[in-house]
Chains A and B, each alone.
Chain A
Amino acid sequence: MITELTDSTTWIHACHEVEPDVHVHSSVYLLEEDDRYFLVDTGDTFHREALLNDVDRVVGDGNLDTLFLSQSHLPHSANVGDLEDRYPGLDMLCPGGVPDLHGVRHDQVWPAQGTAELNGRKFSTTPGPLMDVSHTTWLYDHGSGIFFTIDGFCTYHAPGECDALAADLEAWPHEKLIELFYRDMFRWIQFADHDALVAGVEAITEEFDFNYIAPSHGNPIGRAEIGAYLDSFDSATRHIVEDYLARTEELETA
């Protein structure tokens, strides 16, 4: 599925049903400048054909010459080999980290936190507050104002919401779907100092002057919608912590 975010940025996504009436996205993003394309992440292997065929459709006769890998977790980096086969000469861009440790070839290493330029386009990189795997980097494109937050600002979504931006969804956000997503995906939240976590997530939204937040798993979020997301995230993650504390109290008194 292909959705245009701006005239130079495309959201390419696939999704599948996690349980009845609950879907999850696997998303990659294509940035274009003078027919040269820059891809953020590779998506997962389950959706490999769908995602990469859509990448081919958007790139068309252009040139996909750079792949940015946000992290080594398989849903983000699993299709590296396939992309290299489809686009020989693809430059691998690994922010920070030690790509060799993760068995990934790299052509460039960007700072884990700083700025970089590619084809005249300015980017900022930062470690985000919502990460599970080390050496994960969020990416801000100054040209489009899009903030690629990988596993941050994510949610499951309901059937019928697969192609939509958050702004186009009346019932968005679904607090329960945010809670279910992070309960499933970021089990560490049960160990989190909830107030510190929420404060960290809110702070990063003030650090970058974004037009959209573009997560790997969820509908892209415009600036006007971010407040509603943050409120739901606060409540959802509070439930996760409270449930864990209640469960462990039961274990310890048993």
Chain B
Amino acid sequence: MYWMRECYDVSDSLGRFFVESSLGQEMAEGWYDPDRNIHNLDNCFLLRGSEKTLLFDNLGPNSTSHILEVLDDLVDDGELDYVVISHDEVPHAGNTHHVLDAYPEATMVVKGDDGSGSRLHELVLEDIDDVRFVDFEETIDLGGYTVEFVEPAIFDTAMTTWMFEHETKSLFTADSFGNPHHEDECTQFTDEMTPMTWGRRMQYEGRALPWFDYADFDRINSALDRVFETYAPERILSSHGNPVRENAAAHLDIVKENNEWIDEHGKMETLTAFIAGTA
């Protein structure tokens, strides 16, 4: 299983928040080092089973050459079998056509709707012949790895699916469990980094989803509990966070704590609003 990523320096915005804002200082406590640049990231993952190979998401247009080069190195005999799209947003699916052009035998896998074929999925409406629509709880056997599609508890666009791999007990989440990292933490797992505190995860959980202005967080936290009780993940591989390979339950607790904070205080402003002073 391979982790591929693209990082973005957010020192000018998030770094300022941690220094200039009293709330930022509170949220920076215990993990943030102002002497190091700070990044956000987009992730995708490649699973190479004994029989099949699967790519979960494919990054954005800034990463086109990067993702194609990495796939060229990692995919045996040029055989990529499945291109799973968590959802049709540019940072997750921005290279779908490039990847499918490079691997024309691959099947694109997307969350279907109620069975009438995914009438809504932007990418499906395109002239892409080989599409598999999946329902939640549907599985694909890669040989050694078995992936199952999971109803997400937190998401932005409607046609979003999470994924769970049963052998490694890895939960692939889009878009949740995100975090910023220091410039020297780009390739680290969370247990190797400065602590993953509630304030650190808040930089993603608290800002990413505009509909959190209207959310009932008891309902969301219940949905998160259901996912974790059903699948008992030991790893969390998120779209915008460093991979979790230890103590997944503690990270769930952090995200739920984030949601409780948002419920009490309101969603945090975007960084651009903070910079513009329009929050």
| A contact set with B: CB distance below 8 Å | 16, 18-19, 24, 44-46, 72-75, 77-78, 96-98, 100-104, 109, 111-114, 127, 129, 131-136, 184-193, 196-197, 200, 244-245, 248, 251
Residues from chain A with Cβ under 8 Å of B2 in the complex = none
Does B24 reach chain A (CB closer than 8 Å)? no
Query: Nearest chain-B residue to A128 (Cβ)?
Result: B210
Q: Is B22 located at the chain interface by the 8 A CB criterion? A: no
Q: How far is the CA of A200 from the CA of B254 in the complex (A)?
A: 29
In the assembled complex, B35 has its CB within 8 A of some CB on chain A? no
Residue positions of B touching A, CB distance < 8 A: 8, 10, 13, 40, 42, 60-63, 88-91, 93-94, 113, 116, 119-120, 122-123, 125-126, 155-158, 160, 207-211, 213-216, 219-220, 222-223, 226, 270-273, 276, 278
B214's partner among A109, A112, A196 (CB-CB below 8 A) is A196
Q: Are B270 and A97 neighbours in the complex by a CB distance under 8 Å? A: yes
Determine which residue in A45, A97, A100, A187 has the highest number of CB atoms from chain B within 10 A of its CB, and name it: A187
A72 engages B125 (CB within 8 Å): no
Q: A45-B125, A192-B214 are in contact. Are A112 and B276 (CB under 8 A)?
A: yes
Bound Cα distance from A91 to B72, whole angstroms: 35
Complex contact A133–B89 (CB within 8 A): yes
* Inter-subunit contact B8/A78 (CB<8 Å): no
Ranked 7 nearest A-B pairs via Cβ: A103-B61, A103-B60, A46-B125, A131-B210, A74-B122, A197-B214, A103-B62
Assess whether A74 is in contact with B211, with CB atoms less than 8 Å apart.
Answer: no
Indicate whether A19 sits within 8 Å of B116 (C-beta atoms), given known contacts A103-B91, A134-B156, A248-B222.
yes
Give every chain B residue within 8 A of A101 (Cβ-Cβ): 8, 40, 42, 60, 91
On whether the beta carbons of A134 and B207 are closer than 8 Å, the reply is yes
A190 to B211, CA, bound (A): 11
A191, B125: Cβ atoms closer than 8 Å: no
Question: In the complex where A74-B123, A112-B270, A132-B158 touch, is A192 in contact with B211 (Cβ < 8 A)?
Answer: yes
Residues of A within 8 A of B278 (CB): 111-114
CB within 8 Å for A186 and B211 given contacts A77-B90, A103-B94: yes
CA distance A104 to B62 in the complex (A): 8
Q: Which of B155, B271, B276 contacts A188 (CB 8 A)?
A: B155
7 pairs, CB–CB < 8 Å, chain A vs chain B: A19-B116, A45-B125, A72-B90, A102-B90, A102-B91, A109-B272, A111-B276
Query: Contact: A113 with B215, CB < 8 Å?
Result: no
Residue of A nearest to B220 (CB): A191
User: A96 to B270, Cβ gap below 8 A?
Assistant: yes
Q: With A74-B93, A133-B89, A191-B223 known to touch, is A186 a contact of B158 (CB < 8 Å)?
A: yes
Determine which of A98, A196, A248 lies in contact with B8 in the assembled complex, contact meaning CB atoms within 8 Å.
A98
Chain A interface mostly helix, strand, loop or mixed? mixed
CB neighbours of A18 from chain B (8 A): 119-120
* A103 and B119 form a contact (CB under 8 A): no
Q: Residues of A contacting B91 with CB < 8 Å?
A: 72, 101-103
In the complex the two chains form, is A74's CB within 8 Å of B61's CB? no
Q: Which residues of B contact A134 (CB under 8 A)?
A: 156, 207-210, 270
- A102 and B60 form a contact (CB under 8 A): yes
Q: Which of B13, B60, B63 has the most CB of A within 10 A?
A: B60
Distance between B186 CB and nearest chain A CB, rounded to angstroms: 16
Partner of A192, one of B126, B215, B270: B215
Of A102, A103, A136, most B-chain CB atoms within 10 Å: A103
CA distance A112 to B272 in the complex (A): 7
Q: Determine whether the beta carbon of B210 is less than 8 Å from that of A127.
A: yes
Q: Measured between C-beta atoms, what is the minimum distance from B18 to chain A in Å?
A: 17
Residue of A nearest to B152 (CB): A187
Residue of B nearest to A44 (CB): B122
For A74, the closest partner residue in chain B by CB is B122
A251 to B226, CA, bound (A): 10
Contacts of B156 in A (CB 8 A): 132-134, 188
What is the bound-complex CA distance between A113 and B275, given in angstroms?
12
Closest to B97 in A: A45
A222 to B208, alpha carbons, bound, how many Å? 32
Residue from B13, B157, B208 with most neighbouring chain A CB atoms (10 Å): B157
Q: Are A100 and B8 in contact (CB under 8 A)?
A: yes
Cross-chain contact B272 with A98 (CB below 8 angstroms): yes
The answer on a CB contact under 8 Å between A74 and B89 is yes
> A96 near B272 (CB under 8 angstroms)?
yes
Are A103 and B90 in contact (CB-based, < 8 A)?
yes
Checking B90, B158, B208, B273 against A187 with a beta-carbon cut-off of 8 angstroms, the contacting residue is B158
Provide the bound-state CA to CA distance between A97 and B210, in Å.
12
